[in-house]
């Protein structure tokens, strides 16, 4: 990938406030699954639009864990949550194209992953670790990006301990079970 194609990616990652550590030390655990190209194994559960910014995020969960979480309200070991970030498609009038009141996906920017496996997370200090979750970052083409997840991901997600270190996905399944 050339520096030129990188520019928009880096810009939007900065907007997401995770840029500071993205180019830091590579402590990405190799075992976090790379979902790119295996989209059939994942279910799209949520799309979050940010119309003012013209960006959107699509959140996927691996099908096996999603089926189990729908029954139990808990995210089982093996849960792999994937968030694909995109820039929308300009509508030519200073806004962004929408279909059925949702932004239309344009350029893909980055793929964020969090995955939980039994016994994971032990390598991180207690004050930082997110239970048994590990994190990873990929380009839209599936290239693993070097990222110090202890700095770039865990401190913020740690705030969401009550929902198993997820921001929206944990509640999504808990709410389904209550219905």
Q: Which residues bind ligand HEC (CB under 6 A)?
A: 17-18, 48, 57, 59, 81, 83, 112-114, 135, 137, 147, 149, 152-153, 156-157, 166-169
Q: Scan for tokens 């059925």, then name that residue.
A: 100
* Angstrom distances, CA of residue 74 to CA of 126, 129, 132: 22, 19, 14
Report in angstroms how near the CB of residue 4 gets to ligand HEC at its nearest: 23
Report in angstroms how near the CB of residue 92 gets to ligand HEC at its nearest: 26
What are the φ and ψ backbone dihedral angles of 106, each rounded to 5 degrees? Answer: -110, -120
Q: Which is nearer to ligand HEC, 93 or 144 (CB)?
A: 144
Please tell me the distance from the alpha carbon of residue 17 to that of residue 77, in angstroms, as a whole number: 28
Structure tokens at 51: 């119309």
Nearest CA to 134 out of 115, 108, 153 is that of: 115
Q: Are 88 and 55 in contact (CB under 8 A)?
A: yes
Q: Which is nearer to ligand HEC, 94 or 156 (CB)?
A: 156
Nearest CA to 60 out of 121, 111, 116, 132 is that of: 111
Report in angstroms how near the CB of residue 85 gets to ligand HEC at its nearest: 9
Q: Which is nearer to ligand HEC, 107 or 171 (CB)?
A: 171
Report in angstroms how near the CB of residue 152 gets to ligand HEC at its nearest: 4
Report in angstroms how near the CB of residue 41 gets to ligand HEC at its nearest: 15
Q: Which is nearer to ligand HEC, 107 or 163 (CB)?
A: 163
Q: Which is nearer to ligand HEC, 94 or 125 (CB)?
A: 125
């Amino acid at each position: 990938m050339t520096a030129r194609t990188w520019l928009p990616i880096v810009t939007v990652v900065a907007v997401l406030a995770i840029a500071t550590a993205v180019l830091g030390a590579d402590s990405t655990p190799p075992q976090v699954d790379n979902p790119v190209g295996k989209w059939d194994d994942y279910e799209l559960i949520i799309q979050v639009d940010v119309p003012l910014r013209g960006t959107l995020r699509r959140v996927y969960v691996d099908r096996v864990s999603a089926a189990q979480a729908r029954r139990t309200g808990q995210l089982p070991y093996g849960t792999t949550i994937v968030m694909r970030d995109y820039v929308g498609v300009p509508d030519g009038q200073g806004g962004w194209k929408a279909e059925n009141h949702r932004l239309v996906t344009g350029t893909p920017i980055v793929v964020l992953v969090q995955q939980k496996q039994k016994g994971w997370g032990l390598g991180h200090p207690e004050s930082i670790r997110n239970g048994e979750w590990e994190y990873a970052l990929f380009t839209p083409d599936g290239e693993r990006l070097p990222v110090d997840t202890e700095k770039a991901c865990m401190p913020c997600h740690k705030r969401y301990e009550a929902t198993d270190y997820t921001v929206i996905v944990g509640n999504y399944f808990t709410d389904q079970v209550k219905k």
